[in-house]
Structure 1
């Protein structure tokens, strides 16, 4: 190789290296930011069955606030971008800022928090109108429940506490707080608390026993897989599944327990001579009317979250045995049945406790 050829090769390599440095430097100068925008105009064009919208928006926050920008939005069927944008709609967009100049804009999603806040306000107003002061207290109990899950349960799991201890502790706080807020510190509240604890613990123990028996891993849901791949959390996912089953049944069990306790105490207040056995069987009688609809509610709630997967199985060629033996479906069956059994056991437990303590 002569000197001239060597020089040419060196020049080419230097040029490539310089271009690479410039590209990296340019990339470093890019900044991506998510902002809200207001749709002021939209035009639709359809080409080869592809719908394309030309959208004009006004930026609502950030350094480009009040700037009017135009971008294209492709509506893709059967995807998260199957959203047609309309005038007066608020959306999230991603701005690409290069050298302090806006170089690109892309649609992310529709702003949802304002409508969710409106729905929450409707729920709160109706709760207060029809429930009065007790409705207000139940709303406060709902807020406390959410805080217990986010501020107590999750940090305990992240810090490595046993999922059994964490679930019992958080469930106990939720149960006691809810009943004391709604019914005050009374015998009736105490009976409902004990009945709820009995049914919830039974549900959790059944879930642990049968879940371990069929070797559930807790890593069957797509959300859990995302949690594993995109975070560094080192937690017991099988335990997390059992905690979800136990906490998931809590609301229904509380409802049943309080209903039965109220009925038994009402019977006792109208006839002080009613025996414990009659009160107990009265509670069971009320429980029979509750169990059919409440158990159905639990199973339908769990099945509703799995409808897309059930459709996948139904249009495929999997047999019923194959479907039942998948991790996800087996987990949902355990969730539904253990929750329902815990609900059923709550009826005699609460009936007995309330009958004894209604004097």
Structure 2
């Protein structure tokens, strides 16, 4: 892919755009290039204005989150090391039946024996406690030596302190997976993969530092999503694929796809009468973040959900048109568009599979419940939680599909027009071949 703008000039057609792989230069139409530049400059200016206008001041959202009690006053979350994992209790067996000669309160099944970490002050020893757990936790592969987090309720009303299981500390395996991912990307994709990871990090900062606090402060979910998505795409595309007209074409198609997704998301949320509170997490968020409109959050989620796949198809379409122009400089723009769309249709088909199966994998427990419940399928699909996912998936998919012809058309208009005098690149032609066929191909391409 090109790493930057070409600096040569074509004859009366515009600027030349060269690729680092030594391919033939691709001329860029001067008028189309100017129009594309103006469009992206206006979009960048609107993005910067939106970031400044809606950047959170850190007051309302931070205070609200900080004063929202996750648990009762005095409750702490100590860490401890698992000493023993007792087997799950059989049907009808009580988990607090003490064995003969042992502590009558010690559990014999369905519990973890955990040694708590010593207090940071060093005073006193580290106690060992038993906490009941569900059979799901017992059968998860938890073993002695693992670290878990407990919930400690302080003594109250003459009752002693109690402990409950919270979660397993999974920092180490998650860190190993992340490290493996970074190494694989860097080794296989090399410098371009490193730049893509850097862009991903910048995108994460935009989400954490701008989008989430702005939503908590009650800003419009639509505007926050549009501004944040635009900022993310500018950074990600140019970092991963370089500053070039080809990348700018993909960016223009991406922004159009984001706009289409936003419009469809607004219409779908309103038409389906979605509240934005489709699960326990949504209800908990609505209860603590009172200034956050759940419907605005859902609209924002619909727009952000399709960014990654949208970026994939637009950069592919832009690159396809560029390569087609380099291979067939005599091809007319209409033929160029049709050829690009043949590639785009294949990409659309494979991307639709990706979207649907990615959702199916994430929602497999929900799909199993649909299979088991004795309720009509259409009734289940109209529940709040499933309707949200359906709207999110379909709005993103429609925006993605429409971005393919839009990007292809922009790219076909941006590259230089047909050059009938240019040779048609074919696979290793023999010198003695009759060139009339090549001339005929050029005439047909120019006439199309």
Alignment TM-score > 0.5, same fold: yes
Q: Is the 8 A contact 1:203 1:246 kept in 2?
A: yes
Residue 33 of structure 1 aligns to a residue whose secondary structure is coil
Aligned residues: 325
Asked whether 1:354 is paired with 2:396, we answer no
1: CA distance, partners of 2:233 / 2:353: 23
Map residues 155-174 of structure 1 onto 2, 5 A cutoff: 155-174=213-232
Shift of 1:93: 3.0
Shift of 1:290: 0.9
Residue 73 of structure 1 aligns to a residue whose secondary structure is strand
Map residues 64-213 of structure 1 onto 2, 5 A cutoff: 67-77=125-135, 83=140, 85-95=142-152, 105-213=163-271
Shift of 1:282: 1.8
Report the structure, 1 or 2, having the larger strand content.
1
Q: Is the 8 A contact 2:150 2:167 kept in 1?
A: yes
Asked whether 1:273 is paired with 2:333, we answer no
Alignment match, 1:38: 81
1: CA distance, partners of 2:174 / 2:396: 29
Q: 1:43 to 1:254 in 2, by over 3 A?
A: closer
Shift of 1:264: 1.1
Aligned residues: CA RMSD: 2.6
Shift of 1:112: 1.1
1: CA distance, partners of 2:151 / 2:202: 35
TM-score by length of 2: 0.67
Asked whether 1:296 is paired with 2:353, we answer yes
Residue 34 of structure 1 aligns to a residue whose secondary structure is coil
Residue 233 of structure 1 aligns to a residue whose secondary structure is coil
2: CA distance, partners of 1:121 / 1:76: 32
Asked whether 1:59 is paired with 2:59, we answer no
Q: 1:309 aligns with which of 358, 363, 366?
A: 366
Q: 1:48 to 1:254 in 2, by over 3 A?
A: closer
Residue 86 of structure 2 aligns to a residue whose secondary structure is strand
Map residues 2-13 of structure 1 onto 2, 5 A cutoff: none
Name stretches of at least 5 consecutive residues in structure 2 with no aligned partner: 1-72, 94-108, 417-448
Which structure has more relative contact order (CA 8 Å, sep 6+)? It is: 2
2: CA distance, partners of 1:81 / 1:346: 48
Report the structure, 1 or 2, having the larger helix content.
1
Asked whether 1:325 is paired with 2:382, we answer yes
